[in-house]
Amino acid sequence: MSVVSPKLILVTGGTGYIGSHTVVELQQRGYKVLIADNLSNSHIDVLERIEKITGIHPHFVKVDLTDKDATRQLFTDYPVEAVIHFAALKAVGESVEKPLEYYRNNLDSLLNLLELCREYQIKNFVFSSSCSVYGNTSALPIDENTPLQEAQSPYANTKKIGEDILRDTAKVSNLNITALRYFNPVGAHSSALIGELPLGTPLNLFPVVMQTAAGKRDKMLVFGNDYDTPDGSCIRDYIHVMDVAAAHVAAIDRMTKGQQKSRYELFNIGTGTGLSVLEIIHAFERVTGEKVKHEITGRREGDVVKIYADTSLANRELGWKATRTLDDMIHSAWKWEQQL
């Protein structure tokens, strides 16, 4: 058994993109961290990179969270006080092609963790949700009371079902649960030691823009220019990954201090500003001076037309606000891409 100081936060998926940035933020705020990850979409060398930034090598266990016995061993071996659950398959397009894989992975892992939290009397749980649960809604900006429309992909549906499971669990347990619906995390740590590094072909906009500008791909595709938006391309609320990381720490702080107003709380994590795909491409060209060769193609199945957040609830209750600009997002993402 590993002996670790108390106040230990279990971060599932902690070697992944948002997970690794959150581990950095937690460690810099004095929390001890245990990372659990199966490394299906991340690299083990992230641990060394985190150590270079924070001076602390996080505890790490390679584990498949859909394996309940293996997951139980984490709780047996370590004095876990709270869980931040990132680990999930997350590619929208792939989820359309492999729905069963997504439902199995994303829901079994959540159910196992919740059952073990109950068994080991863990009190606090933060869930990585997504703005994709809102579906194609016409009510903008979106606040936490905006009715959810039909999920546009199996991935989005796993987040929606996950929230239902958490809400029902909170009603009948002593578990405090915070679900963070984040919009589109982008950018990288200012050190350029960690950033977004999808294994295989990236599907998110920022890595595609960066790789195109860096010459790793001949051109990028813009999926649709005939949507009901000012320039015809899809609109999203892009937020710096370090702002997203800070929101998780704010949620953990709130729960460990007993400041929650109900067992289940839900917050939008975004900037409140919607930007189109073409606007991002033009902003990147302006900030870096690099050209991004792109071609308009047909719409992509599963894409929501436009979505951006009303974040006033998180600003007020979590005492959190996104502070980094679009230029900060582009600068950090490009610096990360160049060191790759």
Ramachandran area for residue 200 (φ above 0: left; ψ -120 to 50: alpha; else beta)? left
| Nearest CA-CA partner of 125 in 173, 165, 83 | 83
- Where does 119-201 show beta strands of DSSP type E? 124-130, 176-182, 184-186
Contact between 8 and 79 (Cβ < 8 Å) = yes
CA dist 276 and 227 (Å) reads 11
Helices (H), 35-67: 46-54
227 belongs to the catalytic site: no
Which of 31, 78, 102, 155 is catalytic? The answer is: 155
Per-residue burial over 306-338, b = 16 or more CB atoms within 10 Å of its CB, e = otherwise? bbbbbbebbeebbebbbebebebbbbbbbbbbe
3-class secondary-structure state, position 313: helix
Residue 169 CB partners (closer than 8 Å, separation 6+): 114, 175, 177
Per-residue burial over 104-133, b = 16 or more CB atoms within 10 Å of its CB, e = otherwise? ebbbebbebbbebbeeeebebbbbbbbbbb
Element (H, E) at 265: strand 264-269
Per the structure block, which two tokens stand in for 92? 């929208």
Q: What does 67-106 look like in DSSP terms, one character per residue? A: -HHHHHHHHHHS-EEEEEE--S---HHHHHH-HHHHHHHH
Catalytic residues: 155
